[in-house]
Amino acid sequence: MSLIHPTALVERGAELADGVEIGPYCTVGAQVRIDAGTRLLSHVSVQGRTRIGPDNVIHPFCSLGAVPQDKKYGGEPTELHIGSRNTIRECCTLNLGTAQDVGVTRIGDDNWIMAYVHVAHDCQVGSHVTFANCTQLAGHVHVGDWVTLGGFTGVHQFVRIGAHVMAGIHSVLTQDVPPFVLLGGTPAVPHGINAEGLRRRGFGPERIAALRRAYRALYRQGLPLEQALEQIGAEARADSGASAADLGLLCEFVAASTRGILRP
């Protein structure tokens, strides 16, 4: 059975799995579905077509599934999907998608989302991500797995952030950030490979060394972008191990960028 506090308001039609906890003064809309083990601690608003997976913990004064902050939104049946085992701290706002994109804002699994974070319409956030306090994502932003964004980081709409990126406090991101990069500043500039983060995730010395060489080709040798990608691609083709996959991921990301990558 779900545990619903007497002061909570759960509209008829909401689907709550066994073991869901709805704390004091929470509101849950009629089109919401929440899976087993998720806890809304207090004063949480969940509205719209919102799907929340199992074992999430959502702290007070969060607003999930509210209409997008987009003047083009006309009431279309868009959605918010939140995965499993996420921690969402106080006063976060995660909005529905829009008909101008895929129509779904997505949050993956095992994310640590700290206070006052805003995830706007149509953002696609991976898993094992950390957003420090007051991180702000504009609409249509894509964030890969294992990304860490420091406090007060702002991300421009349509920016893509590759896997294993780390941004320092007060970073402002206006262009795509390739995987594995360490960056910071206003506007943000690259500062090397996120080597410490990679080591913590089991990347060995050879993989990190290969990524350092790729970073030098991309950022330090003064090569045109196409030539830098050719050099990185050649090393990837010459390596049959894990480094080949890392370098291939880097090349694919840069080649697919439409905004242009963060590059001095």
- Active site residues per annotation: 121-122, 139
Q: Is 263 exposed, middle or buried (0-12, 13-18, 19+ CB in 10 A)?
A: middle
Dihedral sign computed on CA atoms, order 243, 246, 252, 253: negative
Quote the DSSP letter at residue 68.
Answer: P
Q: Give 199's Cβ-side CA count (13 Å radius).
A: 6
Secondary structure (H, E, C), 72-113: CCCCCCCEEEECCCCEECCCCEEECCCCCCCCEEEECCCCEE
In this structure, are residues 55 and 80 in contact, taking their beta carbons and an 8 Å threshold? Answer: no
Cα(118)–Cα(137) distance, rounded to whole angstroms?
A: 6
Place of tokens 């149509």: 122
Residues paired with 88 in a beta bridge: 58, 113
Six-digit token string for 68: 């997008």
